[in-house]
Structure 1
Amino acid sequence: MTGRAGPGVRVLVVEDSAVVRHVLARLIRDDPRLELVEAVETAEEALRLVPLLRPDVISMDVRLPGMDGLEATRRIMAECPTPIVIVSDSSTDPALRISMNALRSGALSVVQKPAGWPVDAAGGRAIATQLYIMSQVPVIRHRLHYGAVGPAVEAPPPPRLRPRLIGMAASTGGPQAFSHVMGALPAGFPWPILLVQHMGAGFMEGFAAWLDTQTRLSVGLARQGDVMRPGHVYVAPAEAHLTLGAGDEIRLNHAPPVGGQRPSANALFASMARVGAGAIGVLLTGMGEDGAVGLRDMRRAGGYTIAEDRSTAIVHGMPGAAERIGAVSISLPLEQIAPHLVAIASAVPRLPLAAGMEGRRP
């Protein structure tokens, strides 16, 4: 099944279901940004074609006859590095922990497989956009290449900055960005981190488990009433807003999406604004504008806010929106964010969490 000739991003589809293969081919053909170069049903056929066709991006299923999509991803990233988006049904085999294994194998993102045709407009556009955006990401042997790291440029923290917790958020390109930042933080990092990542509902547990392997900090899904502990990362679970409670405990709620997102970066940052200078907000790569208004709330309340600079953001939508409305204290390239946080931790006297909470086990 070959696609039309054209100037679009060249996509190879690997999917054993004839129905889903047809749906994905139709989505790609209907999007002027994309060009379908081939659609195949086995990993073995994909491995044969990748060096011949040199696609710009691959849509990869996980459950394939013979070699599975995770092994195919590992082989492709080792032999002929190509951006790979896992398009999978998260409900077919929860034990597979698709997102953790896919990201570990070298995939750039994980999206929910369409159930059939017609696909709703938003779902089809989301898959096509993921393929288009991820095709732009240079990959080298299983690793993202963010460009040469220049000399560290560290702005001094604001003189009245007294942080006690950090909130971070991202969307498209977030898993790799979080891995880059978290992997550079030391084991003794003194503050808890609340984290929002836009990702399909079935993939969040696997994402948190994967991120835990990328850092010396302890990473897990946030739970209602968790008392935050230094050096722990609390990931917003699927379909729940992650917010900071009045006693600095974790609060989860299932209120309607904010700006189309649940979990919402705006909801997280807005809840952190009440602690003023006790909070740092970090907004990384992502489509749309989620997080911009909440980050502005934090900054107006005295918090310190960091946005990923355009030079490294895979998609500068979210951090760019925050910059435009004056929500950002400083914009930094991705490789400078962790060193900057460590410098703040070294220079600023540490305040405990709410009285009597630090050190308690959730």
Structure 2
Amino acid sequence: MEEGPEAAQARASREASGWLILLQEEPDDPAVKRRFEDWLRASPANADAWMAMQHVADVASIMPAEFADRWQAEVARQRAADVQATRLSPVRPRWPRRRWAVGGAALALAACLAIVAAPVLMLRIESDYMTGTAEQQKLGLQDGSEVTLAAGSAIAVSYEAAERRIRLLQGEAFFDVAPDPKRPFRVIASNAEASVLGTSFGVRLGPQGVTVAVAEGIVQVGYPDRGSMMPQKLEAGQVARLSMDGQISRTTVPPQLVAAWRRGQLYLRDETMREAVDRLRRYYGGTIILADDALAERRVTGVYNLDDPEDALLGLVRAHGARMRRITPWLIVLSSS
């Protein structure tokens, strides 16, 4: 089967990170240089990937060591969240213990690119529908139900005689469900489940758990793998947060603000800065790094414009007297000072 352009790009990125490491290890080996030059000329994707890797080296040369460490930690955390969300087996990065000419920061960034590529490809294989950065998509299902996918989101659809089942693999979605008493409509996200007969509600899968918010009707939420826990019912304007460790907390929201991202708004109510940044990442065409844990755990409330994620980030940090630094046009670092 011929390799598609996205798969070719992902493969070239992984190979470019490998060449960066090898060229640092054997800088004077003529055989290595010849092989590298042959690879570079083999395809435009390889040349583009190598140019991107050179940008990585440029970033490393100006990035403070603590930011490079934070980048590595953030990628590892996001990778773990992807694994939890898609039930994939984790791949543990092996960080070389040598000192490279470009420096450990460049090597860490290169390895991060290779680590991130794998779950994206797996997600494309597993999902039926998927959106990219800052992309929103409205889908009609075979029973007349509608699903609106937020940016950076993915679902898998399975309709059977006894039930309608959607798996939220990443991001968030809003469901407008056509009534069918004989076939419940279930949304599975990680280890949590939302079940309805016909209603409108939103589901978000984040690194800390699943959030279900009801715009209209009644939704039942719970953990199907925890038989001892009774499901809970939510009505219009009610929100449930189901943590990965099996805890359910509840709050309320005006029904018209459920899934406000459909109208280009990010509505936050007593959420952590980490959660807010995770949601904004899906609308920003680069990388956002939270440089300290104290800032990540501060609470945020407000409405922000998703059409301008950089301005939204600036508003978030200003509210806490923090700082936003643009390291490159595609890299932003948030820190307390």
Larger radius of gyration: 2
TM-score relative to the length of structure 2 = 0.27
TM-score (norm 1): 0.26
